[in-house]
Amino acid sequence: MDGVTVTRLAELVAGGGVAVLSGAGLSTESGIPDYRGPTGRARPAEPMTYQRFTGSAQARQRYWARSHVGWRQIGQARPNAGHRAVAELERRGLLAGIVTQNVDGLHQAAGARRVIELHGGLDRVVCLSCRERTPRAELERRLRAANPGWEAAGARINPDGDAVLTDAQVAGFQVVDCAACGGMLKPDVVFFGENVPRPRVDECFALVAGASLLLVLGSSLTVRSGLRFVTKAASLGIPIAIVNQGETGGDADASLTLDAPLGPTLTELTARLPVPAQ
């Protein structure tokens, strides 16, 4: 770890008003793989699209079978040192808020409160007909009841909780519909091919625009979804600091970049900051 760079980062963060933008790299130490970082480079990514999900009963069967297996890992994941450090920065009054591209809920589980889930959360399910939102735990109980004796172990788990299963493992899996209206159920997350709700995007832009520093944690900034906030900060002259393993799409706009593991780096960062008087 580059101690000099961590010291410079601490100096930037100490001023407060920090907007955090987090990505999948922050959750890898909790056992959740990423798509483009060190744990994801050798793994092909085949995320479900909104169009395929809504247009094909077979695609929904495949998605829910894979997600039913993957949820066991995502649902049991616990915050790591990086999540706890971010929550501690919030507790010390240094953060303006957190925008996370992750759908795992680990920021909140670590104690953070001002969190905007840009892409939604896997712990909720939404009906595409009546729009009722229900806890994922309730759906899991219904899926187990509809599929007694069905077991499948995925070869790997993707960041969105999607386990890789064979066609034979998926065959025979029973999907359930909305208990209230019989409509199609979907995880309360933004699929590829689906737009993030405009009010949520506007809230994120407002957070970034009002910040004194944009701190990017564990995001490769490869796609526009996250990069647009870095571009916004740069256009407003707001300093940008990036902590990630590997290069990112925002490095050219950053005042500071640090290629290092998130957990140890953020733990060291909090250790270098003064603890406010109680």
* C-beta separation of 4 from 266 below 8 A: no
Distance CA 4, CA 10 (A): 10
Instruction: Please name which of 244, 241, 265 lies closest in space to residue 34, comparing C-alpha atoms.
Output: 244
Active site (catalytic) residues? 119
Structure tokens at 153: 């172990």
* C-beta separation of 264 from 1 below 8 A: yes
Out of 106-120, 151-165, 223-237, 264-278, least confident range: 151-165
Q: Please determine, for residue 277, whether its predicted confidence score (pLDDT) is greater than 80.
A: no
Residues 51-91 pLDDT 10s: 999 999 999 999 999 999 988 888 889 999 999 999 999 99
Q: Please determine, for residue 1, whether its predicted confidence score (pLDDT) is greater than 80.
A: no
**Which comes out higher in pLDDT, residue 159 or 244?**
244
Q: Please determine, for residue 2, whether its predicted confidence score (pLDDT) is greater than 60.
A: yes
**Per-residue pLDDT, 35:** 59
Q: Which residues contact 220 (CB under 8 A, 6 or more apart)?
A: 23, 25, 36, 37, 244, 246, 247, 248, 249
**Per-residue pLDDT, 165:** 87
